[in-house]
Structure 1
Amino acid sequence: MIARLLSALLAAGCTAASAEPAPEADVLSIGGSVTEIVAALGQGHRLRARDSTSTWPPEVADLPDVGYMRALSPEGVLSVGPDLILSEDGAGPPEALDVIRAADVAFVTVPDAVTTDGILRKIEIVGAALGVPDRAAALSDAVATDLADAMADAARPDAQRKRVLFVLSTQGGRITASGTGTAADALIRMAGATNAVTEFEGYKQISDEAVGRAAPDVILMMDRGGDHGAADDELFAMPAIRLTPAAADRASVRLDGLLMLGFGPRTAEAVRRLNAALYDEGA
């Protein structure tokens, strides 16, 4: 099906390179942080559809959902008739993107970010694509100031920084955790804590022994339940975790996944909320 659709589009001479979004173009936003940026720029009224990771602001729930950003179908994406597609890097699968890019629709990729500068670059790219660079500049200034203030408030000496283990999944009784170079790692450090796992990059399944060596003071998880957010009784009964300092204190923190890992306009809020939860300073 994908191959036939791609052949038909190519035969018709439709290319993404020739497509230019019209003023006030209808937008399909793929990726939660991109959707947040569109809304923060005051352009939410232009959103025609969104992907399933786009859950903020709440009103986007009323928009058509084209599916999970890493499992898109060309038919689903193109059926909503966007003039402009704004997509976080990492959308896919690649063969689906080939078909989508071959259609007569402007397609802009927004790079991932785990730093302040990266967030500001995302805002700049989305603002330029939407034709509102002045609004993007103003939003960037506000986000940069707010995030700098939040990080300054969260800062503390190394000796006082709690060791935090971000657990992505407990599927099958095995811990998948964050190493370095991830959004979770970056947020933990911004919030005045230390990532308990630094032996590898990315998210990986780790052994019970590795969890013990990490000796986390706090377990950090997303709040969506299931394998991604086991309840405390289940979490602290796991052999990998039950002998850690976190288990001794039943110390766990759960935050909204998009707020924590999206690295969009609300990242300063994520820093403040995580810092408050870690150091008992109120949410």
Structure 2
Amino acid sequence: MKHATARWLWTVLLACTGTLHAAGVQVTDDRGVTMTLTQSPQRIVSLLPSLTETVCELGQCHRLVGVDRYSNHPAFVRSLPQTGGGIDPNIEAIVALKPDVVLMATSSRGVQRLESLGIQVLAMEPRSSADAQRVMGKLGQLLEVPDAQRIWRAIDAGVSAAAQSLPPGARSLRVYYEVSSGGYAAGTGSFIGEMMARLGVQNIVAPSLGPFPRINPEYVVRANPDLIMVGSRNVQGLELRPGWRGMRALREQRICVFTADESDVLVRPGPRMAEAARLMARCITSKGLK
């Protein structure tokens, strides 16, 4: 009788274990595609810097086996194999790394190609603060990290602290933030624009233009911002743009030029968003805009 009971208990245990194993991990990406894995992925290729940084902030850097050419933080990822970029992923190099899952932007090329080769893809592209928060939660779910939202709570507290460090007068400032060459700006609906709003400054880019619109130089001249924020990669030739030399920001040298490393912090909707807020606040203070 004891042996029969033992066999019954063993059968139940196996059945339960099998059910748990079969359930595995399920995550739905920004395309609405649900990915199912029998277990949390141990070999990950990330093709978006903000996703790379989030994986590492969750304490799971060791699972990364490859990254895109732009992922450079934390320092650990610089030693990993590079597999191209979002617009030109190296499919062969990715496949050779035998990943359990590939993290990439929804707009990235290669999603369908990788899936046709049997590679699991989780496509996510955070553009707003809410997107960034949601992505952190989904990666925490994928990696089975409890309370992944602690990262977001720390970010939120850091941004609030940066905002509180600025005087009330900052709320009257009108700011233009140029994200990349070609005149692409941070709109009010982008995570950068939302951060500007939390800091209390006014974005000259109209909400109707979208999160990252391409802005005509004359639009900026008409808006005549008090302050311009731009990365060192894009600052060359600002004064040569039609009408820009006469704008207040250029006349009074109220331009914050962020280094390449600082720009990386500012344009990535990931764990370093509080640091980005501090950089913006420091910019405002350094230009005497109080």
What's the CA shift for 1:48?
A: 0.3
What's the CA shift for 1:266?
A: 0.9
Compared CA separation, residues 101 and 157, structure 1 to 2 (3 A): farther
Aligned twin of 2:20: none
Aligned twin of 1:100: 114
Aligned twin of 1:269: 275
**Aligned mates of 1:202, 1:145 — CA distance in 2:** 24
Compared CA separation, residues 90 and 187, structure 1 to 2 (3 A): farther
What's the CA shift for 1:144?
A: 3.2
**Aligned mates of 1:165, 1:21 — CA distance in 2:** 47
RMSD (Å), alpha carbons: 2.7
**Aligned mates of 2:195, 2:113 — CA distance in 1:** 35
- Calculate the TM-score normalised by the size of structure 1: 0.77
**Matched AA of 2:99:** P
Work out whether residues 88 and 110 of structure 1, in 8 Å CA contact, stay in contact via their aligned partners in 2: yes
**Aligned mates of 1:169, 1:137 — CA distance in 2:** 30
Number of matched residues? 252
1:131 pairs with one of 144, 158, 174: 144
Alignment of 1:35-184 (within 5 A): 35-91=52-108, 93=109, 96-115=110-129, 117-134=130-147, 136-154=148-166, 156=168, 160-169=171-180, 171=182, 175-184=183-192
Give the share of equivalent positions with the same residue, in percent.
Answer: 24
**Aligned mates of 2:247, 2:35 — CA distance in 1:** 57
**Matched AA of 1:41:** L
What's the CA shift for 1:170?
A: 5.0
Aligned twin of 1:12: none
What's the CA shift for 1:50?
A: 0.6
Asked if 1:247 corresponds to 2:260, the answer is no
**Matched AA of 1:68:** G
- Calculate the TM-score normalised by the size of structure 2: 0.76
Bigger Rg over Cα? 2
Work out whether residues 175 and 226 of structure 2, in 8 Å CA contact, stay in contact via their aligned partners in 1: yes
**Aligned mates of 1:254, 1:64 — CA distance in 2:** 31
Aligned twin of 1:200: 209
* Structure 1, unpaired ranges of 5+: 1-15
Work out whether residues 48 and 68 of structure 2, in 8 Å CA contact, stay in contact via their aligned partners in 1: yes
Compared CA separation, residues 194 and 103, structure 1 to 2 (3 A): same
**Matched AA of 1:150:** A
* Structure 2, unpaired ranges of 5+: 1-32
